Amino acid sequence: MVVVMSIAASREDIDRVATFIAEHDARAHISQGEERTIIGVIGYQHRVQREHLATLPGVEKVIPISKPFKLVSREFKKDNTIIPINGVKIGGGIPVVIAGPCSVESEKQILETAYMVKENGGHLLRGGAFKPRSSPYSFQGLGKQGLKFLQRAREETGLYIVTEVLEAMYVPLVAEYADVLQIGARNMQNYELLKSVGRIQKPVLLKRGMSATLTEFLMSAEYIMSEGNNQIILCERGIRTFVEYTRNTLDLNVVPAVKSISHLPILVDPSHGTGRRDLIEPLSLGALAVGADGLLIEVHPRPEEALSDADQTLGEAAFKRLMHLINHFTAWQENYQQQVAGTAFA
C-alpha cells in the first residue's frame, strides 16, 4: 500500500508514519515529491493495518496497490519518471539514442565509434567490457581495461557511458567508470545483482530477460527500487519465440503495456531484438511510434570485423541514415500529437 501525506504534513508526521510501518515489520520507502510526500509500505505487510495508518496525523489517504510490484507502479507514482543524464532526459519526451559497439575491443575501436556516435547525434555511448557470451570460447570482453578505454572515450567526446555489470561483486568497479549500469537479459533475475545496483545512486538500464513476462520484468525493477535507487530505465530487447528468421522477437506490445502500469521509462533495442542489420531501421521507427523513450543501437566503424554481434551491427552510413530518419520521425510525431491535442480525439 501507499500512504499519501497531505501537503501540510510536517517532518514529524512523516517520521511517525515511517516508525509505525517499521514497528509493524514492514519497510517505509519515502519519496519526496514537489508538493507532497508519498510513503510506500514494502516488504511484509500483514501487520500494518491500513485503517490505523489512515488515522495518523498528516496522512491524507492510504491506497492499496493491487499489483505485485508497488514502487514501480503508476498507482504509486502517477507522473512519468524522467532520468536526466548529461543534459538529456530519458523519459522526457525526446527519444534518446544510446549507441556503440556490442563489445569494447580496443582503444582505437571505441574512440572511433564514440566519434561516430557523437557526430551523428547519438546521446550516450554503449559498449560491453564484461561480456555474457553463450560460448566460453567466444570473446569475453576486455574487463577493467575496457572500462578504462570507455573512460578515455568519455573524456575525448563528452559522451556518457553505458556498460554492463555481470556480477554483484563488480558493481563498485563498474560504477567507478560507468554513468549508467546495464543489467543484461541473462541477469534480469539475478536478485543479488539487482539489490547491489539498487544500493548505488547511478541510473540502471534493466534489460528484459529473454523469456520474462511483463510482471517478472517489473518485479526485477522493483528489486532495484526497493533498495533505494529510483533511476531505472527499462529496455525491451526481444524475447524467445518459435521464429527462426530473427534472433529474437521484438515485443513492441510491451512498450505501451509498460506505460499504462508503470511510471518508468522504456527503451527498445532492435539490435538484439532482431539480430539482423536490415531490420534495425523499420523496428526503430516502430518502437518510437509505439512510444519508446529511446533506442539502444549497436554500431561499429567496421561492423563486419566486430568481435561480437556483427550481424546486427550498423556501420556509419546506416547509422547516419537511421539518425536522420529518427529526427524526421520525431518532428512528425510532435506535430501529429499537437494536431490531435486540439481535437475531440485528444
- Contact positions toward Mn ion, by CB under 5 A? 102, 309
If the CB atoms of residues 91 and 128 are measured against ligand PEP, the closer one turns out to be 128
| Maximum Cα interatomic distance, the chain, rounded to a whole number of Å | 66
**Smallest distance, ligand PEP to C-beta of residue 237, A:** 4
Find the angle CA(99)-CA(200)-CA(139) to the nearest 5 degrees: 45
Note whether 71 and 29 are within 8 A (CB). yes
Buried residues in 113-131 as b, exposed as e (16+ CB within 10 A): bbbbbbebebbbbbbbbbb
**Smallest distance, ligand PEP to C-beta of residue 197, A:** 14
340 CB neighbour count, 10 Å cutoff: 11
197/193 Cα distance (integer angstroms): 6
Of residues 86-125, those binding ligand PEP (CB under 6 A) = 102
Instruction: Please tell me whether residue 272 binds ligand PEP under the rule CB under 6 A.
Output: yes
**Smallest distance, Mn ion to C-beta of residue 307, A:** 10
Instruction: Please tell me whether residue 297 binds ligand PEP under the rule CB under 6 A.
Output: no
**Smallest distance, ligand PEP to C-beta of residue 269, A:** 6
Fill in the per-residue mask, 155 to 184: x = in contact with ligand PEP (CB under 6 A), - = not in contact: -----------------------------x
Instruction: Please tell me whether residue 40 binds ligand PEP under the rule CB under 6 A.
Output: no
* Residue 184 contact partner, candidates ligand PEP, Mn ion, none, CB within 5 to 8 A by sort of partner: ligand PEP
Measured distance between the N- and C-terminal CA atoms of the chain, rounded to whole angstroms: 32
If the CB atoms of residues 1 and 206 are measured against ligand PEP, the closer one turns out to be 206
Q: Where are the alpha helices (DSSP H) in the chain?
A: 11-23, 50-54, 107-119, 144-157, 171-177, 191-198, 214-226, 254-261, 270-274, 280-289, 316-341
Instruction: Please tell me whether residue 247 binds ligand PEP under the rule CB under 6 A.
Output: no
Among 123, 237, 247, 300, binds ligand PEP (CB under 6 A): 237
If the CB atoms of residues 102 and 232 are measured against Mn ion, the closer one turns out to be 102
**Helices 280-289 + 316-341 axis angle, to 10:** 20
Q: Pick from 311, 314, 313: which is nearest to 246 by CA?
A: 311
**Smallest distance, Mn ion to C-beta of residue 311, A:** 10
Q: Kindly give, in sequence order, each residue whose CB lies less than 8 Å from that of residue 153, ignoring residues fewer than 6 positions away.
A: 110, 111, 113, 114, 125, 127, 159, 161
**Smallest distance, ligand PEP to C-beta of residue 81, A:** 21
**Smallest distance, Mn ion to C-beta of residue 147, A:** 17
Joined grid coordinates for residue 27 = 519497510
Among 123, 207, 247, 300, binds ligand PEP (CB under 6 A): 207
Interface residues with ligand PEP (CB under 6 A) are: 102, 128, 132, 184-186, 207, 237, 272
